[in-house]
Amino acid sequence: MHPLKDKACIVGVGETPYTRGTDRSQLSQILHATMAALDDAGLKPHDIDGMVLPMPMPTVEHLAANLGIPDLRYSASSNIGGAAPVAAVQTAAMAVALGVAKHVLIPVGWNAYSGAGVRGAGRSGPVGLPPSFGLTMSEYYMPFGLAVPAQWFAWLATRYVEQYKVGLEGPAAVALAARKHAQLNDKAFMRGRPLTMDDYRNARMIAQPFRLFDCCLETDGACAVIISSAERARDLKQPPVYIAGAAEGHPLPADDIPGRKDFFKIGLFFAAPKAFEMADAKVSDLDFVQIYDCFTHIVLLELEALGCCKPGEAWQFVQNGRIELGGDLPFNTHGGLLSEAHVAGVNHIAEATRQLRHQCGERQVKDAELGVVTGFGDFGDGSLIVLRR
């Protein structure tokens, strides 16, 4: 038995409204989401004594000062882009399971629409790039006009589509399922804006093969989750959601995409078997998956990394409603980054938690007992958690 299995729980989740346009700073957004998560858990700001931050700003010092935390005992950061929030859950779980901290906050706020979106990468230049991959990019990619995720993941997608003869209906099924689920979610930015196959097909190209609706949203908002030990979780306001498995993994090398011997082996390929083994679970046991959906083709790669199907077969796996509510393996029941909001996937953790509490109303996966959340970031770093009620 893995020493961390079921020793920590997600006890609180909360978010701001997801908008395009806001008067709030990112710090203010994070604080509002944190207060919502605390309220959800039945905790007060002074109960938080640990933080794991998936984004470099604001710092733990800013957050602790604003929240009035009297005794911040533990802080850490995880700088692996969109894989960071889920990886942070593993770190937080270790901290609470060992008693280093009682209640650990994991917040992300991103005013990507109104503030620093990825589209600004060319203007901000190398200094504005995350250190985790900025060196490689400024030295070897940017002189050739490549600086944003849609461009560098198109390297993966172009070869993936060519090598496996992936039909347009593969990535389309991912985009359409996410949008369909968003219609059942009041918080989703794309609620009330349904998407058809014709809309998908006719949308403009962004970076081939990514069309507009293959790409995640840029929104303004924040989301936060709180991790506590299993013992403490049982006394809190909400039914505990147990962290049964957790792992992170990295492609080789993680700081350069062209140089990979095994081009499609994203970090999740390394992480998934570890987390399933820890949880003593199989992919066929899952009631849902919340997958980091920066781009639809990346969702296909992640499904393969999870072991849902063989390499190159995900585009067929997702057909016939299999990943929609009511299908074998519902995916991103909130709409995901594609149709709810982009807060680096903390919203995926929040949704998984609410699904396992059976609080999702008309989009509830019936009798949900076990689910997975994945993270994917920078040049293909990966993370996942296996959650159970």
Which residues contribute to the site for other proteins (CB under 8 A)?
A: 119, 121-123, 125-126, 136, 138-148, 150-152, 154-156, 158-159, 162-163, 204-208, 253, 255-259, 263
Q: Which is nearer to other proteins, 199 or 369 (CB)?
A: 199
- The token duo for 297 is 């083709």
Strand partners, 13: 225
Distance (Å, whole) CA 342 – CA 108: 10
Q: Which is nearer to other proteins, 312 or 321 (CB)?
A: 312
Q: Which is nearer to other proteins, 151 or 228 (CB)?
A: 151
CB of 102 to other proteins, least distance (A): 41
Q: Please choose, from the candidates 146, 145, 201, the residue with its C-alpha nearest in 3D space to the C-alpha of residue 173.
A: 201
Q: Which is nearer to other proteins, 150 or 289 (CB)?
A: 150
CB of 124 to other proteins, least distance (A): 11
Residue in the block written with tokens 């982009």: 342
Dihedral, 267, 317, 363, 292 alpha carbons, nearest 10: 20
CB of 189 to other proteins, least distance (A): 21
Q: Which is nearer to other proteins, 68 or 253 (CB)?
A: 253
- The token duo for 173 is 């099924």
Burial of 180-193, coded b for 16+ CB within 10 Å and e otherwise, reads: bbbbbbebbbbbee
**Which ranges of 42-189 does DSSP label H, i.e. alpha helix?**
60-67, 84-97, 121-124, 134-136, 149-164, 169-182
Report phi then psi at 290, rounded to 5: -110, 105
Q: Which is nearer to other proteins, 256 or 328 (CB)?
A: 256
Contact predicate 34/224, CB 8 Å: yes
Q: Cis omega before residue 253 (within 30°)?
A: yes
- The token duo for 184 is 């059942």
CB of 150 to other proteins, least distance (A): 7
Q: Is 168 exposed, middle or buried (0-12, 13-18, 19+ CB in 10 A)?
A: middle
CB of 119 to other proteins, least distance (A): 6
**Residues 6+ positions from 199 with CB-CB distance below 8 Å:** 213
Report phi then psi at 245, rounded to 5: -145, 150
CB of 216 to other proteins, least distance (A): 15
- The token duo for 362 is 């008309």
Q: Which is nearer to other proteins, 21 or 143 (CB)?
A: 143
Q: Which is nearer to other proteins, 304 or 351 (CB)?
A: 304
CB of 203 to other proteins, least distance (A): 11
Amino acid type, 260: R
CB of 30 to other proteins, least distance (A): 27
Q: Which is nearer to other proteins, 120 or 307 (CB)?
A: 120
CB of 143 to other proteins, least distance (A): 5
Q: How far apart are the first and last CA of the chain?
A: 18
Length of the chain in terms of residues written: 389
